[in-house]
Amino acid sequence: MTSSDEYLLIKAAFKQPVERTPVWVMRQAGRYLAEYREVRDKAGSFLSLCYNPELAAEVSVQPLDIIGVDAVIMFSDILTPLVGMGVELDFMPGPVLANPIKNQRDIDHLHPLIPEKSTSYVGEILRLIRQQISGRAPVIGFAGAPFTLACYMIEGGNSKLFSKTIKFFFNEQKLAHQLMEKLTTMTIEYLNYQIENGAQMVQLFDTWAGILSPDDYKSFVFPYVSRIFESLNGTGVVPKVYYINGSNHLLEIMSGTGADVIGLDWKCDIQTVKQQIGHKVALQGNLDPNVLFCNPEIIKEKVLEILTKFGSESGHIFNLGHGIDKNVNPEHLKEMVKAVKENSKRDC
Ligand code: CP3
């Protein structure tokens, strides 16, 4: 077994010297892989796959063997722990949450999550992955951040405008804070449970928090995310990553949440961001996911651009700026990984 502090991923997350830049991909266990689609069909549905530890562990490990990434992210979804709070969840194929949150009663109905009771399948997935890969790569756990979970709970599913969410947060501020409180407590319990069961890095997905202005972010999100990071076990051993899509206007504030790593989308310039917050945190990202539809020469060129912009210091984890699309050719992803591995070598 490799000790956690020997992995490129963990070293880069703590800005320690590395021989090359580590690379993994958000949604790397997913529909772009024929091998994933096969297992998902065997499971019957996306949710049955999430709840089946053997099959979920199998698809988690696929990208390590097929693509050659430097980390395994456990296969699950940010919305599944909500079921343990009493939320009714389905995927068709996008998420559908019955009884969206509208009032005090709906919030009162949410009960605390007991991870070992409601999400024991997640503990089992993590243990199975650790056994199966016997130290070949570190295992990443994750959770949705409270604001992003609240978006889905208020909208009842995907949304373009998030107008119901904004209306609820601004018109019903007291209720919004109550909801954020409940989700914060849940997220702390859930992530600490994952750390206890073998997660060696954890990522908090706050995909939609970028819709807020800096001031609204500071009052509705920052205190809760900061509390999550300060309440997690494994400080200095288990790196904490914080990702928002469309976060250019929030990066400075995000870097003060206590996260070790900030996950970037592709719309910001990694060189500029490094100058802005790179002295405080490591950076993860930030290739445009659409680049994977281009020719291999273009993919390599775009990878090199990012590696050059970040420079040769440690503190960079290569990733896409958002999840990989289901129509990407896996060969193109292999090209991306190869380009990172071959062009980021350094003495350390
Ligand atoms: O990264 C990984 O490989 C681990 C697994 C993972 C999934 N979802 C699997 C999944 C992770 C980390 C997530 C996070 C997630 N889920 C986020 C945050 C990151 C982001 O993408 O912004 C969000 C917002 C969700 C909610 C969610 N889950 C949506 C909106 C959808 C529908 C997407 C679609 O294209 O239909 C899902 C379903 C989902 N989660 C799939 C996968 C592989 C596809 C479902 C399938 O296999 O049918």
- What is the atom index within ligand 1 of the atom nearest the CA of 79? 26
User: Ligand 1 pocket, 141 CB below 6 A?
Assistant: no
- Round to whole Å and give the CA distance between 24 and 43: 25
**Digit-coded pLDDT (tens) for 24-82:** 999 999 999 999 999 999 999 999 999 999 999 999 999 999 999 999 999 999 999 99
- Residue 259 forms part of a structural domain: yes
Distance 26 CA to ligand 1 centre (A): 9
Furthest-apart CA atoms within the chain: distance in Å: 59
- What is the atom index within ligand 1 of the atom nearest the CA of 205? 18
Instruction: Please list the pLDDT of the chain residue by residue as tens digits (348 residues).
Output: 467 889 999 999 999 999 999 999 999 999 999 999 999 999 999 999 999 999 999 999 999 999 999 999 999 999 999 999 999 999 998 999 999 999 999 999 999 999 999 999 999 999 999 999 999 999 999 999 999 999 999 999 999 999 999 999 999 999 999 999 999 999 999 999 999 999 999 999 999 999 999 999 999 999 999 999 999 999 999 999 999 999 999 999 999 999 999 999 999 999 999 999 999 999 999 999 999 999 999 999 999 999 999 999 999 999 999 999 999 999 999 999 999 999 999 887
Active site residue 77: yes
Active site residue 27: yes
**What's the first-to-final CA gap in the chain, in angstroms?**
23
Full domain range(s) for residue 127: 4-343
The dihedrals phi and psi of 25, each to the nearest 5 degrees, come to -140, 130
Catalytic residue, from 7, 32, 36, 152: name it. 152
Distance 348 CA to ligand 1 centre (A): 36
- Residue 348 forms part of a structural domain: no
User: Ligand 1 pocket, 323 CB below 6 A?
Assistant: yes
- Round to whole Å and give the CA distance between 215 and 219: 6
pTM over 0.75: yes
**Digit-coded pLDDT (tens) for 10-30:** 999 999 999 999 999 999 999
The dihedrals phi and psi of 319, each to the nearest 5 degrees, come to -160, 175
Residue nearest to atom 17 of ligand 1 (CA): 78
Tally of domains in the chain? 1
- What is the atom index within ligand 1 of the atom nearest the CA of 326? 35
Q: What is the CATH number of the domain that holds 72?
A: 3.20.20.210
Cα atoms in the 13 Å half-sphere on the side-chain side of 146: 26
- What is the atom index within ligand 1 of the atom nearest the CA of 30? 43
Are 13 and 282 spatial neighbours (Cβ–Cβ below 8 Å)? Answer: yes
User: 179: Cβ–Cβ under 8 A, 6 or more apart, which residues?
Assistant: 101, 107, 110, 146, 150, 153
What pLDDT sits at residue 5? 81
- Round to whole Å and give the CA distance between 259 and 256: 7
- Residue 240 forms part of a structural domain: yes
- Round to whole Å and give the CA distance between 282 and 2: 22
User: Ligand 1 pocket, 47 CB below 6 A?
Assistant: no
Q: Kindly state the helix (H) or strand (E) to which residue 302 belongs, with its residue range.
A: helix 296-310
Distance 183 CA to ligand 1 centre (A): 19
Cα atoms in the 13 Å half-sphere on the side-chain side of 95: 21
Collapsing DSSP to helix, strand or coil, 183 comes out as helix
Catalytic residue, from 20, 40, 130, 227: name it. 40
User: Ligand 1 pocket, 92 CB below 6 A?
Assistant: no
- Residue 98 forms part of a structural domain: yes
- Residue 176 forms part of a structural domain: yes
